[in-house]
C-alpha cells in the first residue's frame, strides 16, 4: 500500500481510537493526572484491559500518548494537547456521523433517499457540541451576555443545551 494511502487508512483508525478514549474518560483522566495506571483505570470502569492497551497503542502511533514505567502507565504524548483540545470533533465524526459515513454508498442512491435516510446519533452530536462549546464558544457567549441586558435567549444548535440550562 502506498504510504499516503496507508496514512489515510491509519488516520481512520486513529480517529476511532481518539473518539473511543474520549468517550470512556481516558483522555480526561490523562489530562487531569500526570500519569494513569492502566490496570487501575480498567478495574475502576470495568473495562477490558487488553482492549484498552490496543486503544493506547493506537494513540501512541500518533504521538498522542506515551506508555511509560514498563507499559503499566500512560502519559501525555507530544500531540496530546492538540488531540485533547479537538477531541469533540472526533466524537462528532465517529460517534455522531459514523453510521452515515459507513453507509454513504446507499445514501447517494435516489431509491434510498426517503424518510430519515441520514442516520446520525444525536447523543454523540450533543456531547461533541458540548465539548466544542466549552472549548471555543462559551466564554465568548458569556462575555457578550454580560455586556447586554437580555430577557430571552435562543441558542440554536447548542448540542446539550448546557448554556441555556446555565442561564
Q: Give the model's pLDDT for residue 110.
A: 95
Neighbours of 134 (CB within 10 A): 14
**pLDDT by residue for the chain (167 residues), tens digit each?**
889 999 999 999 999 999 999 999 999 999 999 899 999 999 999 999 999 999 999 999 999 999 987 889 999 999 999 999 999 999 999 999 999 999 999 999 999 999 888 889 999 998 998 888 888 888 888 888 888 888 888 877 666 777 788 77
**49 and 41 in contact (C-beta within 8 Å)?**
no
Q: Give the model's pLDDT for residue 68.
A: 86
Q: Which cell numbers in the block locate residue 17?
A: 481510537
Q: Give the model's pLDDT for residue 159.
A: 66
Instruction: Give pTM, 2 decimals.
Output: 0.86
Q: Give the model's pLDDT for residue 157.
A: 66
Q: Give the model's pLDDT for residue 47.
A: 98
Q: From CA 82, how far away is CA 27, in angstroms rounded?
A: 12
Q: From CA 24, how far away is CA 54, in angstroms rounded?
A: 14
Q: How are strands ordered across the β-sheet holding 73-76? A: 36-37, 73-76, 65-68
Amino acid at each position: 500500500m502506498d504510504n499516503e494511502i496507508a496514512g489515510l487508512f491509519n488516520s481512520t483508525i486513529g480517529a476511532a481510537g481518539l473518539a473511543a478514549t474520549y468517550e470512556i474518560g481516558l483522555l480526561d483522566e490523562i489530562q487531569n493526572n500526570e500519569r494513569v495506571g492502566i490496570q487501575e483505570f480498567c478495574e475502576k470502569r470495568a473495562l477490558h484491559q487488553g482492549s484498552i492497551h490496543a486503544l493506547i497503542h493506537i494513540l501512541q502511533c500518533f504521538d498522542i500518548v506515551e506508555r511509560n514505567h514498563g507499559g503499566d502507565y500512560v502519559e501525555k504524548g507530544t500531540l496530546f494537547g492538540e488531540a485533547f483540545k479537538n477531541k469533540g470533533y472526533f466524537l462528532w465524526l465517529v460517534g455522531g456521523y459514523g453510521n452515515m459515513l459507513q453507509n454513504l454508498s446507499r445514501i447517494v442512491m435516489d431509491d434510498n433517499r426517503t424518510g430519515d435516510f441520514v442516520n446520525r446519533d444525536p447523543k454523540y452530536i450533543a456531547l461533541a457540541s458540548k465539548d466544542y462549546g466549552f472549548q471555543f464558544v462559551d466564554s465568548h457567549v458569556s462575555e457578550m451576555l454580560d455586556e447586554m441586558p437580555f430577557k430571552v435567549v435562543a441558542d440554536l444548535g447548542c448540542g446539550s443545551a448546557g448554556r441555556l440550562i446555565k442561564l
